[in-house]
Amino acid sequence: MASSSSVLYEDQLQCSICLDVFTDPVSTPCGHNFCKMCLKKCWDTSPYCQCPMCKEDFPKRPELRVNTFISELAAQFKKSVQVKSSSIADPLLSNIKKILCDSCTEEKLEALKSCLHCGVSLCSTHLLFHKTTAKFKRHKLIDPVENLEDYICQKHERPLELFCRDDQMCVCQFCTEGDHKTHNTVPIEKESVVKKRQLGETQAAVQQMIKNRLKKIEEVKESVKLNKMSTEKEKAESMEVFRALMHCIERSQAELLKVMEEKQKAAERQAEEFIKELEKEITELKRRNTELKQLSHTEDHLHLLQIFPSLRSPLPTKDWTDITINSHLSLETLRTQLQESLNEEMEKFPENKLKNIEQHAGAWAFTDDIL
């Protein structure tokens, strides 16, 4: 088994068909890699010639050539795994607890076999009786195990040689004469073959699940890639829309400010003219006021009577009661013109772009803030 630091490296060198490290790796035109024999069998058993990973169809069956670069990487990886496995296996073997002979009285020798009938583990010397004596030859021997009691029926102290399919448990010969008398029992070796076949089916299903998930990972990655490309395209197009709108708004803003400044200057010029005219009338009124003041103190009665009519006549002044300077600039017309300009600009863009603008930019609210 590869170390944790090489797990990713192993996945990169793994065939998605056999789920093992590449053997004679070949590359398809779409860029995916497989074992040469795996891909050949896949195409030989299918009416279509397509990539097992991305399902891209090939009108003509591609010529498969071994990818020497990937092949060398796979070979180096297998060699490194073998070295690591051997270096790990040695200390593990040395740490395995040895099973000792139960019959040795002095120095305990290592057991070679365990007898299920006798319930003991035996070395080569004490095992000799089981090989030469007819009575012991019928005993069932297995490789030495530490937990020998697990292989023996605790009720009858007989070897567990049968499997009860009704109760799904291992039993001895005596059990079939009692509680399991009417049950379907078979030798454990036969049931082991069945269970191994079931394990194989389960393993195949697990491998298919792994394969499907690897394929799904590729699909998700491809989906993310396409989504990113679409997003970048949308971003670029949206930026163009906003730039055009901002240019339109800036141009309209400049025109609005220009009109406002012109109106302000016109109001200032009008005010200056009014002030000059008012100052002129004030001068005339002051002169008349001085004349009236002087005459009110005169003792020359004849002169008073002679000029009285002229001083009583009204001066040529203007009625300023309803004359004002309009301090409020009416921008309704300018607002309407700006709105029309923006509407014309918006009509140049696709409907989906306009929805994005209304949702994310608040173009009209922004326009109202400016005005």
DSSP symbols for 76-132 = HHHHHHHHHHHHHHHHHHHHSPPPBPSS-SSSPPBPSEEETTTTEEE-TTTTHHHHH
d(CA 313, CA 304): 14
112 and 127 Cβ atoms separated by less than 8 Å:
yes
315 and 281 Cβ atoms separated by less than 8 Å:
yes
Whether residue 4 is predicted with pLDDT greater than 70 in this model: the reply is no
In a domain, 167, yes or no: no
In a domain, 101, yes or no: no
Instruction: Among 6-15, 71-80, 334-343, name the one with the lowest average pLDDT.
Output: 6-15
Q: Which residue has the higher pLDDT, 313 or 42?
A: 42
pLDDT above 70 coverage of the chain, percent: 83
Whether residue 313 is predicted with pLDDT greater than 70 in this model: the reply is yes
In this prediction, residues 273-302 reach a mean pLDDT of: 86
In a domain, 91, yes or no: no
In this prediction, residues 250-259 reach a mean pLDDT of: 84
Residues 6 or more apart whose CB falls under 8 angstroms from that of 237 comprise 353
Structure tokens at 44: 């030989």
- The CATH number covering residue 22 comes to 3.30.40.10
**Residues in the chain, total:** 371
Whether residue 221 is predicted with pLDDT greater than 90 in this model: the reply is yes
In a domain, 160, yes or no: no
Q: Which residue has the higher pLDDT, 1 or 53?
A: 53
Q: Could you say which DSSP state residue 13 is in?
A: T
In a domain, 220, yes or no: yes
pLDDT the model gives residue 276:
92
Q: What is the pLDDT of residues 168-181, one digit of tens each?
A: 999 988 898 888 88
Instruction: Among 135-144, 156-165, 184-193, 202-211, name the one with the lowest average pLDDT.
Output: 135-144
Whether residue 312 is predicted with pLDDT greater than 60 in this model: the reply is yes
Confidence of residue 7 (pLDDT cuts 50, 70, 90): very low
Which range in 210-214, 289-293, 304-308 is most confidently predicted, on average pLDDT?
210-214
Q: Beta 120-122 vs 141-142: how paired, if at all? A: unpaired
How far is CA 80 from each of CA 3, 83, 88, 169, 359, rounded to the nearest angstrom?
Answer: 10, 5, 12, 43, 57
Kindly report the CA angle at 367 between 366 and 371, in degrees rounded to 5? 120
d(CA 112, CA 100): 9
For residue 123, with 0-12 CB atoms within 10 Å meaning exposed, 13-18 middle and 19 or more buried, which class applies?
A: buried
Whether residue 317 is predicted with pLDDT greater than 50 in this model: the reply is yes
pLDDT the model gives residue 131:
77
Residue in the structure block whose two tokens are 């490296």:
9
211 and 17 Cβ atoms separated by less than 8 Å:
yes
Confidence of residue 328 (pLDDT cuts 50, 70, 90): low
Which range in 199-208, 311-320, 345-354 is most confidently predicted, on average pLDDT?
199-208
In a domain, 367, yes or no: no
Q: Which of 35, 67, 82 corresponds to the end of one domain? A: 82
49 and 57 Cβ atoms separated by less than 8 Å:
yes
Residues of the domain holding 265: 215-288
d(CA 342, CA 256): 14
d(CA 160, CA 154): 10
Whether residue 210 is predicted with pLDDT greater than 80 in this model: the reply is yes
Query: Residue 315: which of 285, 292, 287 has the closest Cα?
Result: 285
Instruction: Among 75-79, 98-102, 191-195, 344-348, name the one with the lowest average pLDDT.
Output: 344-348
In this prediction, residues 292-308 reach a mean pLDDT of: 81
In this prediction, residues 203-230 reach a mean pLDDT of: 92
Query: Residue 285: which of 317, 321, 320 has the closest Cα?
Result: 317
In this prediction, residues 60-78 reach a mean pLDDT of: 85
d(CA 363, CA 146): 82
For residue 252, with 0-12 CB atoms within 10 Å meaning exposed, 13-18 middle and 19 or more buried, which class applies?
A: buried
pLDDT the model gives residue 351:
62
Residue 24 is which amino acid?
Answer: D
Q: Which of 270, 288, 306 corresponds to the end of one domain? A: 288
Whether residue 91 is predicted with pLDDT greater than 80 in this model: the reply is no
pLDDT the model gives residue 9:
55
In a domain, 219, yes or no: yes
In a domain, 48, yes or no: yes
Identify the bridge partners of residue 185 per DSSP, sorted by sequence position. 164
CA 31 centroid distance within chain = 23
Q: Which of 24, 52, 82 corresponds to the end of one domain? A: 82
Q: How many domains does the chain have?
A: 2
User: How does the average pLDDT of the chain come out, rounded?
Assistant: 80
Kindly report the CA angle at 344 between 343 and 346, in degrees rounded to 5? 65
239 and 298 Cβ atoms separated by less than 8 Å:
no
CA 229 centroid distance within chain = 14
Query: Residue 111: which of 137, 130, 133 has the closest Cα?
Result: 130
